[in-house]
Structure 1
Amino acid sequence: MTIRLALAAAAGKMGRAIVAALSEQPDLQLVAALGRPGAENLGEDIGRLAGVAELGVPLTAPIAEALAQADILVDFSPADAALCHLRAAAQAQVPVVLGSTGFSADQQKELQELSTRIPLVAAANMSVGINVLLALLPQVVATLGEDYDIEIIEAHHNQKRDAPSGTALALGRAAAAGRKVELDAVACWDRNGSDGLRGKGSIGFATLRAADVVGEHSVWLAGAGERLELTHRASSRRNFAEGALRAVRWLQGRPAGLYDMQDVLGLRRTPAVE
């Protein structure tokens, strides 16, 4: 059965990667492509914008019209726009695959409430590789023990808005879970000034923004005389797009609830349904 997709932020970097990947999937059909209201390229064929053959799908703005045609909404919009789309999807009873990051605590709370009304896969990173790392990290941290210092280093392109990245935060939470603590209790976000002494048990973060870096994340686990580095480097956005489409297929027919890529990939022992 063909799954009909509406795609938000379709003209963005991730949107175009998803359109390109979609064009090669016979079981998935793009029926609506959403852009920013007032954007210059509204009305243009999204296939042409993505650098593939024309798909007969123009870039449009009205979310209600897009949802009326779709089985699932895929959204990588900035947080504020994504939450507006999610409210509309909940109203229309359309499931959502959400790759947006940068939500505030209040927005996260609303996102969880909306997931009680529709099935929702929300993940800071749709890459299969990074999600395998997220699954392994708690066990690695627990095995090494508390004498190993943990630092998380991430790099992205110079237009990324949120810092640290959603993926870096997810890695931090996974590392904290390995020590059975909450990330907020042990996170060190910066070391400005003269007080750079490392607190025992802290999890440090470093953020880099440069040029067109797609995404790099490293977890350092440093003990006396050795350092283990777990690193994921994305060389293109295609892997994120393929992960999002994998989530689309998995989400079809699921009950309402909040899921993530650990559920999609079968890496979670206990389902994340709220």
Structure 2
Amino acid sequence: MNEPFRIGVLGVCGRMGRQIAFEITQDPKTTLSGGLEYKNSPDIGKDLGLLISSAPTKVFVEDDLDSVIQASDVLIDFSTLESLEKHLEAVAFHKKKIVIGTTGLEAHHHDALQKASKEIACLWAPNMSVGVNSLLKIVGKMAQSLGEDYDIELVEKHHNKKKDAPSGTAVALVKAITDATNRSYEKDVTHGRHGALAERKPSEIGVHAVRGGGIVGEHTVIYAGEAESIEITHKAQDRRVFALGAVRAAKFLIDKEPGLYSFLDII
């Protein structure tokens, strides 16, 4: 594609939506084609460029989902769980492609993703950071290498406005470990500990969520043995890292056939 391809942002006025919109305007291979917000949002009708501290774009915030989709080659959705299935259905109807960064998905959301991916190219990732996705490749191998003598815990930290816990990234990291070590996420993972009967069980993986201030995102995987411990930490210093990853994912999808992709397909 010689012309910059068109990316629309669903949930464009949220923290991530604005950052993604800005990064789209900075990439010579992409153009910002539209931005969706909820009905009656005070930002409806505003120039997207002015909202993201950029030059006017003559592209305005809308509440018309079909209009934004039709104007775009690829959609990036960082909106809400409540709107995800509706967005997938509409994007599939118009035969466009979609990148999804919304976290906290339940079984019916994953079912909707699978259904849409039979008709269009979809990429879902709980974290769009190259660093985190590289970490996903090694945490399971580390657990295998160290063996059962090392206890595994994960601590994740985020800002005080984050809705879901544990984070989607934490869940993905733990699942990478359980898959590699023949554990079960449902049976072997505990979320926090309290009370008099909180002794650690064999094969258990503890997951702990911290919420406070403006922490962008930190994840630490701890492997604790009797005489040593290993900690692997990823710290996101700026949410720009996620926005850049989302735009990279959109560019990756532009020539892809229908299917469900992950960020691990990119790196």
- TM-score, length of structure 2 as denominator length: 0.96
1: CA distance between counterparts of 2:109 and 2:84? 10
Question: Which residue pairs with 2:38 in the alignment?
Answer: 36
Q: Deviations over 1:70-96 (max 9, x none)?
A: 110101111111221111101111110
How far the C-alpha of 1:242 sits from its partner, in A, is 0.8
2: CA distance between counterparts of 1:180 and 1:89? 37
Question: Which residue pairs with 2:6 in the alignment?
Answer: 4
Percent identical among aligned pairs is 36
Secondary structure in 1 aligned to 2:161? coil
Secondary structure in 1 aligned to 2:26? coil
Q: How many residues align?
A: 265
Q: Deviations over 1:100-154 (max 9, x none)?
A: 1111112222221221111101000000000000011111111011111111111
How far the C-alpha of 1:158 sits from its partner, in A, is 0.9
| Structure 1 segments unaligned to the other structure (5+ residues) | 266-274
2:128 alignment partner AA: M
Q: Deviations over 1:187-227 (max 9, x none)?
A: 11132221110011111110011111111111111111111
Q: How does 1:55-204 map to 2 (within 5 A)?
A: 55-204=57-206
- TM-score, length of structure 1 as denominator length: 0.94
Conserved in 2, the CA contact under 8 Å of 1:101 and 1:166? yes
1: CA distance between counterparts of 2:184 and 2:255? 33
Q: Which stretch has the larger CA shift, 150-159 or 76-85? A: 76-85
Conserved in 2, the CA contact under 8 Å of 1:140 and 1:178? no
Q: 2:260 aligns with which of 245, 258, 261?
A: 258
Query: What is the aligned-residue RMSD (CA, Å)?
Result: 1.1
2:188 alignment partner AA: V
Q: 2:28 aligns with which of 8, 26, 29?
A: 26
How far the C-alpha of 1:7 sits from its partner, in A, is 0.5
Conserved in 2, the CA contact under 8 Å of 1:151 and 1:204? yes
2: CA distance between counterparts of 1:45 and 1:90? 27
Q: Which stretch has the larger CA shift, 163-172 or 33-42? A: 33-42
1: CA distance between counterparts of 2:197 and 2:48? 51
Is 1:53–2:89 an aligned residue pair? no
Conserved in 1, the CA contact under 8 Å of 2:189 and 2:206? yes
Secondary structure in 2 aligned to 1:208? strand
